[in-house]
Amino acid sequence: MKVDFNLLFWKVFGVNQRVHEPLDIFKVERDKQADEKDYSNFIKSDHLLSNKNYVQQLGRETEIFYIFFINYLLGNSQLTQFYIHQLNNITYNYKIFNEINIEKEKYINMFAFQIALIIEKMYFNNIDISLFNESLEENSINPFLCRCKLKTKSKTKKALSCVFSYMNEQMSEHYLKNKIKLEEISPSTFEKDLSQWEKGKSLPSFIKLLVIINTIEKGNSPEKIGIFMQLLLIRALLHIKKEFKLDDCIKNKFYTQLKNFRSTIKKSNLTINEDIINQQEKYVINFPSSENIDQDSINDTLKLLHFRMNIFFESNYPNEKVNIILPNREMIIEKFSKCKTNNDYLALLNSINNVSSDILYNQNINGANNLVRFIIAVKIEDKILFNQKYKCLDRSFGTLLSLGGLKKKLITFSEILKDKNDLIECINLISEHIKKLSTLE
């Protein structure tokens, strides 16, 4: 069963429930049964979902993160687009890296480079980054709390907790106009929170992060948005360190790389995107911005993504060749050549099992299995079975087959494999057909 990534992802930012729609962040009351059912199927038995629904669930966190911060919270400025896109890049890459069990150093480089890029972009745009620097050095959010005290002239925790409670009340009145009901938080609750936060025993929830930033800055200026993103990043780093119980060795490597990347980026001209992208692609697969993707441009988007993924893997694994040995490969080839009837093919189909997630390159092996199953389904010439195996094969390619315009027609594939009983020849014929029609070719 998959990890509950939705819950894991939003906890990083202080949201302690699943988020299926943007306003779920505020615990808006609505009927979530359909969303929960789809997500439960995605976690437990994703074969029940259509490929379209599967892909929606796969990218749900980044989509909602983008919509919420751009449409609901921070506005659609070029700088905000940049922050959110680079944070979503971390999520996309983490999901890919997690599937292929990539080395810890690659994770460190990914997080360090992306955060360095965001912070140096702020510095380049004359946004104060001192709170981020101080919090990173102190390994706490205390510098943000000190800034709150300074701004409000609060000399004690009790005084600041009253300010926070009043700010929460003001926020509640504002959000209520949009039918969003925030929980009332008393000064005594904030006073207990402040003690916990200052000692590093807990971290603010997302709503309380909003209280903190609205206490530090008014309005919605680039300065305020930048400081809020710094607060969000510090909160995320502290949460990840605690949640994943990172040892000192990993933490020190991260801080060293962050410092190195910031120094390198600072020397670059941040107005020249090409220079930054060339650096970035060594450490991160730079996914296309979601606001630039539409149905008309999806082919170009897929080509660009394929190109960037190749650059990343060539930079990180230049001399590595993966030799995948399929379980029972020779047996499958031999049995395939002897199949005469549909029952023979069905028996072979039922004998091909997926390997477990703890097997190295399990995704590649299972993807190859899906190709063999698809070929067998074509030979059987049963439309329902063909559709099922096409769906599995399409998913192995990340649905790039259907997105790239590969038509799902049994008669076409049956014609290609007509009178062919050599499995390797069939694989080559199908592969050539896919390449011919694929947008990645």
Q: What is the pLDDT of residue 98?
A: 78
Question: Is pLDDT at 185 greater than 80 in this prediction?
Answer: yes
Tell me which residue of 28, 27, 58 sits closest to 41, measured CA to CA: 58
In angstroms and rounded to an integer, the radius of gyration of the C-alpha atoms of the chain is: 26
Tell me which residue of 206, 74, 201, 87 sits closest to 142, measured CA to CA: 201
Question: Is pLDDT at 106 greater than 70 in this prediction?
Answer: yes
Q: What is the pLDDT of residues 267-299, one digit of tens each?
A: 877 665 667 777 888 899 888 775 555 545 556
- Name the one residue in this structure whose structure tokens are 């360090």: 112
Tell me how far apart the alpha carbons of residues 57 and 185 are, in angstroms, rounded to a whole number: 33
Q: Is 204 left (phi over 0), alpha (psi -120 to 50) or beta?
A: beta
Q: What is the pLDDT of residues 334-390, one digit of tens each?
A: 999 999 999 999 999 999 998 776 676 677 788 889 999 999 999 999 999 999 999
Least confident window among 176-180, 210-214, 316-320, 342-346 = 316-320
Tell me how far apart the alpha carbons of residues 32 and 20 are, in angstroms, rounded to a whole number: 8
Q: What is the pLDDT of residue 95?
A: 85
Tell me how far apart the alpha carbons of residues 239 and 206 are, in angstroms, rounded to a whole number: 12
Please report, rounded to a whole number, the percentage of residues in the chain having pLDDT higher than 70.
91
pTM for the full model? 0.84
DSSP string, 160-228: HHHHHHHHHHHHHHHHHTTT--PPP--HHHHHHHHHHHHTTS----HHHHHHHHHHH--TT-HHHHHHH
- HEC string for 367-425: HHHHHHHHHHHHHHCCHHHHHHHHHHHHHHCCCHHHHCCCCCCHHHHHHHCCCCCCHHH
Q: What is the pLDDT of residue 439?
A: 44
Q: What is the pLDDT of residues 400-425, one digit of tens each?
A: 777 667 778 899 999 999 999 999 99
The DSSP code for 328 is T
Tell me which residue of 22, 7, 11, 6 sits closest to 180, measured CA to CA: 22
Tell me which residue of 312, 279, 253 sits closest to 108, measured CA to CA: 253
**Nearest 10 degrees: CA dihedral of 124, 125, 128, 130?**
-20
Least confident window among 32-36, 54-58, 86-90 = 54-58
Under a CB-based contact definition with an 8 Å cutoff, are residues 118 and 233 in contact? yes
Tell me which residue of 52, 438, 46, 91 sits closest to 287, measured CA to CA: 91
The CB density around residue 185, as the number of other CB atoms within 10 Å, is 21
- Name the one residue in this structure whose structure tokens are 């995107």: 273
SS3 call for 270 = coil
